Amino acid sequence: MINTSYLNQMINGLDKWLQSIQFCYMECNYVPEKLLTNNHHLNVILRTFFRLFPINIRGDKKGDTYPLTPQANVALLKAYNLSKNKKVIQILLKRIRKLRSTKTKHFALKQGIKISISLYENDKDDPTPLNTVWFGQFLLEEQTGIFSKQNKKKLLLSISDYLIEELGYNDHYSEGVYFYYGPTLKKEIYNASALISAFLLRVGHLYDIQLYKTLGERGIQYIVNKQNDDGSWFYASPPERKSIDCFHQSYILQALCIAKDYLPFDISISIEKGTRYYRQSLFKMRGDLIIPIRYDKRYLPRNTWLFQSVDGRDIAEALVFFSKYSYDETMINGLLSYLHKEFYDKKTGAFASEILIWGKNKIPYIEFQAWFLYSLETVSSYIKKDTV
């Protein structure tokens, strides 16, 4: 049986905290604009410093004075959709309208803040494909009746056309197609392409659009072809160095599980291998706790991974996967116990964002709170389905 005591305590506490700050706080990648420069490398250093420093030196401003970002708002939409909180969804959708990118013809969300990491730098008005796809997932699963069928279809087709016509893809012919990670990055990163492909498949079958179906199928084909013999996927393709981490493995597995019923070919072996690797290589047990392993130690970690023992997304995405896609009560209970023991602040209701090698990062970054709430609501939703 699932430990619903921990589950409900964390959901209720986090919801109360989020309501108290009106769902607004800083994101982990937020760097005060006055500090940013025209030098990409210097901006990366600044972003990394703020990202890893476990004490809030940005200042605790009033929540709504922080810049709006899509990651938190889309994850919150998905969470409150599961709890059917129409009032909160309407608040969040007003923000989503403000987050539409002005740099695209079709519908896409913008970054909201300048993002500077080693692979790329995007301005705050640049489109963010992965967050746009997550918003598309919300539209596909929305169950409160806020959207008319016509408006929902219009948005879903516009997102799909943005992905195909404006974001674009690299055609590898017999291997399949790869959808680009962002507006400037041409290096191949597998997790986003997998999620984009699965999204196009769903939209293509919902509205019977062959182009979406075909590109979605070929996108999934490419991801399956890039799977390693042990069931894992590297974060990026060569010439990027080999690296594997916990929550990106979950992203790809979730995409394959979404896609499997829409495909004209069988990917069950790929999912089985990937799940076996994920379960056996990226988690460890300590008593009744199940603890994610941040990255596969056979390969050098990327960027900030080296300094993290556990990223909050490692827990959140594992809870989503083992409740929604590969139901496993042992994994869910162990992860819930670990989350409650090591991350949850019983006084505030918020969560730590990560555990760094030098200690816990207790800054309640808004996107981590949103991911945690969505994962907990997902667990709650699938428990209810099992007991009906």
pLDDT of the residue at 385: 62
Residue 190 has pLDDT above 90, yes or no: yes
The confidence score (pLDDT) of residue 388 equals 39
Mean per-residue pLDDT, 244-269 = 98
Helix axes 246-259, 268-281, angle to 10 degrees: 160
Burial of 367 from C-beta contacts in 10 A (0-12 / 13-18 / 19+): buried
* Cα–Cα dist 163/194, whole Å: 13
Q: How many domains does the chain have?
A: 1
Range of the domain at 280: 4-387
Region class of 148: left (phi > 0), else alpha (psi between -120 and 50), else beta: beta
Do residues 143 and 197 touch, judged by C-beta distance below 8 A?
A: no
**Structure-token pair, residue 117:** 């990491």
d(CA 132, CA 212): 16
Nearest to 20 by CA among 385, 374, 350: 350
Secondary structure letter of residue 321 according to DSSP: I
Read off the pLDDT band of 386 (50, 70, 90). Answer: low
Give 67: exposed, middle or buried? Use CB within 10 Å, 0-12, 13-18, 19+: middle
Per cent of the chain over pLDDT 70 is 98
Which residues, 6 or more positions from 303, have their beta carbon under 8 angstroms from its beta carbon? 48, 117, 118
What mean pLDDT is reported for the chain? Answer: 96
| CATH code of 379's domain | 1.50.10.20
pTM: 0.96
Banded model confidence at residue 1, pLDDT cuts 50, 70, 90:
confident
pLDDT of residue 204: 98
Which has more confidence, 105 or 66?
105
pLDDT tens digits, 43-60:
999 999 999 999 999 887
Summarised one tens digit per residue, pLDDT across range 167-179 is 999 999 999 999 9
Which residues does 318 contact at the CB level (< 8 Å), separation at least 6?
246, 247, 250, 283, 292, 331, 335
The β-bridge relationship of strands 121-122 and 115-116 is antiparallel
Interval 288-344: pLDDT, tens: 999 999 999 999 999 899 999 999 999 999 999 999 999 999 999 999 999 999 999
